Chains A and B, each alone.
Chain A
């Protein structure tokens, strides 16, 4: 099996001048990307990084974020891409947990200056990219061969919605990434002629997968930093003649309402993919109507399965509306009951998955790994049913994880931040339905009347400690919180009460 980094080297050799990445007016060819990655690899080796060591990287959505991942692989090390929106404390938790040898970052990155004061980073060398390049000055990178690492060795740790107390690092091997990449390349029919517009961050499984699938075929990736100006994103799609686009439901809500997606001629556009959360059938039909002749792929997956588990073939979009589709090549799906017994078609239960893209486990967390991996099967925590033709229909999720825009947020993490404020007696955080975001983070706070507390104070504390997308959109003060008979707060009841209250 060819590892992704070997695949990149092949393209750098065969089509060196082809555009790999397009970032505004900057164009990075395959040869340039490989050279950039090779110089990072040489710097990492000079910094003492050995095969198997973890290398964390912190870059804005752009070419350096890509080169850091591939450079780490060239050095035989394990890439830990970090969230560029995260605050110092959040970054420190992941870097310390991963026991990263090096944290490579964009020079001048805002949070890095305070990172040195965080505990647990004694073994980590924090290096800006320009300083790293200096370490290996004089070496000629060229088309060096990647360090020999077996395909079943660890390639990447993706930190996903955990909490400060228990960060969740999903362990993916080179074989996991290669298998999922080739399955996706096949059903999307990707070729070197494709040009995809990428707005999803590479440190998330979905964005990571968009990146690798297109580099694997020698295609071009047009980078847009964010969706703040939806019209500008659609104009870039038009100007760069992109053939593909990937988004989460909130992406499409914004592009349709503010980006004039349906009113813009996009002659080159061939396919659009949607994943990240269930998109309402009404929105899927709106998207299909706005983009006649474009193949629309509704997909479903998990970071724990590298990225993709199922896709709905575009030809079945309308007659299987609302379905997450059929398993991608190599993946098997089952729906099982609470005792782990396989259920027949039409019956609801938990979705289990097996295949070459299922993670090895959570980094240094055997208990959490045992909870989800059983004899080669991954328990997804998602509930649904298979129909008679094997199409998956999802109905909900077991966990309290909030899906807001492209982000996943553990409510406990936000609750922990709010609890650090004096005057907070207790707090519960839940996702409340939101037209654009899918779910909006909402904090229900029981405050001590003796201590003055305002909505702004609560949000300000969250801003201090958490990435901006984790700041509650709404804060409500309550006299008490609804509880189960065992005393647990009912987050579900809070979401419903709040939605009714604002209706």
Chain B
């Protein structure tokens, strides 16, 4: 749950330029809504790698892992089973 909040506040601050948590639901399609584009995703991946100490491979960059805050949080959860 903590992961999800961290990811959400990063997305809010860096792609929606706000700290209003109501501006984005956890299931909103980040790509469909044009919130994250081809360079935005690189910024997001760098943030995840630095903050969570993980390595995201090119193969893992898929809509299933990245299209919503929920999906990203679940992906991070799987990458960090502890």
Contacts and interface: CB of A to CB of B under 8 A. Distances in A.
Nearest to A404: B39
Nearest to A258: B58
A316 interface: no
B54 interface: no
A259 B58 contact: yes
Interface stretch (B2-10, B11-19, B74-82): B11-19
Interface of B: 13, 16-18, 31, 33-42, 58-59, 61-63, 66
Nearest to A110: B33
A468 B34 contact: yes
A276 B62 CA distance: 27
Contact of B17 (A110, A259, A463): A463
Contacts of A254: 38
Interface size bracket, A side: 20 to 34
Interface in A77-116: 85, 110
Contact of A228 (B33, B36, B58): B36
A216 B78 CA distance: 48
Contact of B38 (A228, A456, A457, A460): A228
B18 A229 contact: no
Contacts of B39: 405, 436-437, 473
A254 B13 CA distance: 24
A469 interface: yes
Interface of A: 85, 110, 226-232, 250, 254, 258-260, 405, 436-437, 456-457, 459-460, 463, 468-469, 473
A463 B38 contact: no
A473 B17 CA distance: 12
A459 B17 contact: yes
Contact of A456 (B17, B31, B34): B17
A456 B13 contact: yes
B17 A228 contact: no
Nearest to A263: B58
Contacts of B17: 456-457, 459-460, 463
B58 A230 contact: yes
Contacts of A437: 39
Contacts of B34: 85, 468
Nearest to B18: A460
Given A85-B34, A437-B39, A230 B18 contact: no
A405 B61 contact: no
A250 B16 CA distance: 23
Contact of A229 (B33, B35, B40, B63): B63
